[in-house]
């Protein structure tokens, strides 16, 4: 009897899982393995760990308690497990991130030295990073041509859950209990919850998505990012379901399905950019701002982290981040602009705080989202685009519903003042701070710094 190992990492699901199907095709039994790797656990905050453990618990239930969880360095643990069940093949979905690639190379070497094989099938993306190139044969750096090439390339249909598989058993560690989350409310975790959310989104907020996705308060976007992060759902599954809805004539004229597809493509684009430029996980992607002067993260940066800047839309966002581990995209951009352009702090500091607190924290999307706003990344927003927190609040939260939800002190502030409570005759309400910076002055400072950096090139 042959056993094959399926080592899951960012693909915590049974449906549309090519690596699992590949393992099932060659083994009489499949051992499903997850390795708790401290190199990945350390930078993840409590919310992401809790979400991961919940996904693992659901997966374990679906495997009738046969998920084998081990703890330690995969280069040691995976060969140990393969030896224990005498598996010739260990199946994975490819990981194109900087750490994942090194880790998998080390595991492959260790397995090969024992006459075993690491077999990669599929990836967490509809089109695997590294597959698309410009006409000149170089990786893409600009989204729009990437999107054209990505759409033209296409992707295959989802594959069914493998039927009749016999799950092998091997003693493992217990799935850890959730870390202390305090009052944080996490979204439901796991494959079934992800599929249910996809259905709800497609039959609900998708209609109107193109117009409403920037409104921070309300059920306006899919909130599938945590499920996509851990692969409880593959983007191919989402794209196929979306195509069915669009083919069914559900408001295609409004471009909602098309807009949603392009947002999924941003995730694929950033993964492609990171795979081609692994150093962009730590440093500026481009040298456009190599000569830029920054401030060290100090007292004002601390105030930002805890939602105490005195700018309601900025603080509401950071308080939502602390309470839910999630933020709408528009607010993520407002936060990044505030850190980079009002506080003049290098994007890496804000990006690290986001990664620690986000339930969907993803190196490629997070770091490149920050770099896009900072002006150091792909297709960068022009340096003179500095988000005005008051104007952003008025445009996207015109009634102040969002800021009032997260900042109780603003509940009685009239709509006209809710995004600039310091202009009330008596100043900001008790318990809410005055602005920690003068936005107009910081905007001028940011532009001067950008121009100096540009002139120094
Ligand atoms: P929807 O609007 O429903 O979009 C569907 C899916 O498309 C998302 O789940 C996501 O996978 C993808 N997507 C949408 N917008 C983007 C985008 N701008 N870039 C990349 N993918 C996108 N996304 C993460 O998944 N993890 C992160 O750590 C992360 N950090 C970010 C940091 C900054 C500063 C910015 C500006 C954006 C960041 N994003 C990140 C992208 C985006 O904000 C989130 O994916 C989105 O808000 C998740 O909500 P949703 O699932 O409801 O999105």
Mutate to test the pocket of ligand 1, among 346, 360, 377, 387 (most ligand atoms within 8 A of CB): 360
pLDDT digits (tens, 9 = 90+) for 135-151: 999 999 999 999 999 99
Q: Is the CB of 329 under 6 A from ligand 1?
A: yes
Per the CB < 8 A criterion, the answer to whether 326 and 187 are in contact is yes
Of residues 289 and 225, more confidently modeled: 225
Q: Is the CB of 264 under 6 A from ligand 1?
A: yes
What is the average per-residue pLDDT within 319-339? 97
What is the average per-residue pLDDT within 291-305? 97
Q: Which residues contact 140 (CB under 8 A, 6 or more apart)?
A: 132, 133, 134, 146, 149, 269, 272, 273
Check residue 277 and give its pLDDT: 97
Strand duo 68-71 + 89-92: pairing: unpaired
Strand duo 3-8 + 29-36: pairing: parallel
Residue showing tokens 């058993």 = 169
Q: How many CB atoms lie within 10 A of CB 424?
A: 14
Per the CB < 8 A criterion, the answer to whether 299 and 183 are in contact is no
Strand partners, 30: 4, 167
- For residue 7, pLDDT beyond 50: yes
Q: Look up residue 20 and give its two tokens.
A: 């699992």
pLDDT-based confidence at 457, cuts 50/70/90?
confident
Name the CA dihedral angle for 344, 346, 349, 355, rounded to a multiple of 10 degrees. Answer: 110
- CA–centroid distance, 329 to ligand 1, in Å, is 6
Name the residue at shortest CA distance from atom 30 of ligand 1. Answer: 366
Check residue 110 and give its pLDDT: 98
- CA–centroid distance, 293 to ligand 1, in Å, is 29
Q: Please tell me what DSSP assigns to residue 383.
A: T
pLDDT digits (tens, 9 = 90+) for 165-224: 999 999 999 999 999 999 999 999 999 999 999 999 999 999 999 999 999 998 999 999
Phi, psi dihedral angles at 44 (to 5 degrees)? -80, 135
What is the average per-residue pLDDT within 303-328? 98
Name the residue at shortest CA distance from atom 25 of ligand 1. Answer: 225
3 state SS of 155: coil
Check residue 142 and give its pLDDT: 94
Check residue 371 and give its pLDDT: 95
Q: Is the CB of 357 under 6 A from ligand 1?
A: no
Per the CB < 8 A criterion, the answer to whether 260 and 251 are in contact is no
Q: Which of 64, 58, 15, 6 is nearest to 35 (CA)?
A: 6
- For residue 249, pLDDT beyond 70: no
Q: Is the CB of 222 under 6 A from ligand 1?
A: yes
Q: Which atom of ligand 1 is nearest to the CA of 358?
A: 28
Q: How many CB atoms lie within 10 A of CB 182?
A: 9
Q: Look up residue 7 and give its two tokens.
A: 């080592």
Strand partners, 3: 29
Mutate to test the pocket of ligand 1, among 263, 265, 273 (most ligand atoms within 8 A of CB): 263
Phi, psi dihedral angles at 34 (to 5 degrees)? -130, 130
Burial of 416 (0-12, 13-18, 19+ CB in 10 A): exposed
Q: Is the CB of 213 under 6 A from ligand 1?
A: yes
Check residue 251 and give its pLDDT: 55
Q: Is the CB of 269 under 6 A from ligand 1?
A: no
Check residue 367 and give its pLDDT: 97
Q: Which of 215, 222, 314 is nearest to 263 (CA)?
A: 222
Q: Please tell me what DSSP assigns to residue 296.
A: P
Mutate to test the pocket of ligand 1, among 329, 336, 337, 355 (most ligand atoms within 8 A of CB): 329
Q: Which atom of ligand 1 is nearest to the CA of 264?
A: 7
Name the residue at shortest CA distance from atom 8 of ligand 1. Answer: 225
Mutate to test the pocket of ligand 1, among 125, 206, 212, 225 (most ligand atoms within 8 A of CB): 225
Q: Which atom of ligand 1 is nearest to the CA of 213?
A: 2
- CA–centroid distance, 57 to ligand 1, in Å, is 25
Q: Is the CB of 221 under 6 A from ligand 1?
A: yes
Global ipTM: 0.99
């Amino acid at each position: 009897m042959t056993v094959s190992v399926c080592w899951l990492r960012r693909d915590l699901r049974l449906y549309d899982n090519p690596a699992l199907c590949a393992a099932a095709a060659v083994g009489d039994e499949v051992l499903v393995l997850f390795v708790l790797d401290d190199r990945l656990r350390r930078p993840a905050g409590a919310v992401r760990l809790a979400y991961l453990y919940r996904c693992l618990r659901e997966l374990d239930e679906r495997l009738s308690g046969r998920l084998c969880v081990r703890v330690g360095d995969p280069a040691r643990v995976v060969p140990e497990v393969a030896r224990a069940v005498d598996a010739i093949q260990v199946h994975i979905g490819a990981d194109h991130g900087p750490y994942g690639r090194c880790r998998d190379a080390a595991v492959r070497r260790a397995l090969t030295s024992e006459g075993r094989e690491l077999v990669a099938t599929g990836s967490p993306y509809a089109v695997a990073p590294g597959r698309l190139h410009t006409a000149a044969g170089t990786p893409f750096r600009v989204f729009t041509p990437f999107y054209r090439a990505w759409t033209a390339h296409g992707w295959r249909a989802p594959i069914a859950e493998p039927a009749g598989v016999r799950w092998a058993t091997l003693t493992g560690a217990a799935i850890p209990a959730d870390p202390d989350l305090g009052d944080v409310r996490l979204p439901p975790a796991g494959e079934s919850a992800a599929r249910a959310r996809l259905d709800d989104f497609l039959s609900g907020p998708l209609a109107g998505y193109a117009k409403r996705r920037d409104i921070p308060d309300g059920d306006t976007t899919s909130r599938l990012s945590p499920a996509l992060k851990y692969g409880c759902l593959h983007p191919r599954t989402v794209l196929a379901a979306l195509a069915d809805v669009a083919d069914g004539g559900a408001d295609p004229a409004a471009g909602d399905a098309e807009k949603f597809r392009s947002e999924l493509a941003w995730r694929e684009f950033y993964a492609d950019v990171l795979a081609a430029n692994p150093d962009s996980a730590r440093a500026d992607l481009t040298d456009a701002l190599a000569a830029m002067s920054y401030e060290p993260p100090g007292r004002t940066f601390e105030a930002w982290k805890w939602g105490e800047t005195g700018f309601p839309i900025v603080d509401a966002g950071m308080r939502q981040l602390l309470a839910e581990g999630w933020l709408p995209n528009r607010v993520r951009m407002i936060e990044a602009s505030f850190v980079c352009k009002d506080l003049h702090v290098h994007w890496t500091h804000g990006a690290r705080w986001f990664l620690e607190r986000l339930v969907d924290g993803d190196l490629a999307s997070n770091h490149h989202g920050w770099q896009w706003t900072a002006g150091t990344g792909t297709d960068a927003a022009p340096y003179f685009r500095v988000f005005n927190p008051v104007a952003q609040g008025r445009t996207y939260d015109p009634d102040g519903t969002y800021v009032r939800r997260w900042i109780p002190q603003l509940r009685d502030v009239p709509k006209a003042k809710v995004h600039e409570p310091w202009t009330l005759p008596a100043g900001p309400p008790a318990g809410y701070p005055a602005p920690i910076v003068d936005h107009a002055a910081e905007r001028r400072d940011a532009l001067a710094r950008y121009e100096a950096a540009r002139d120094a090139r």
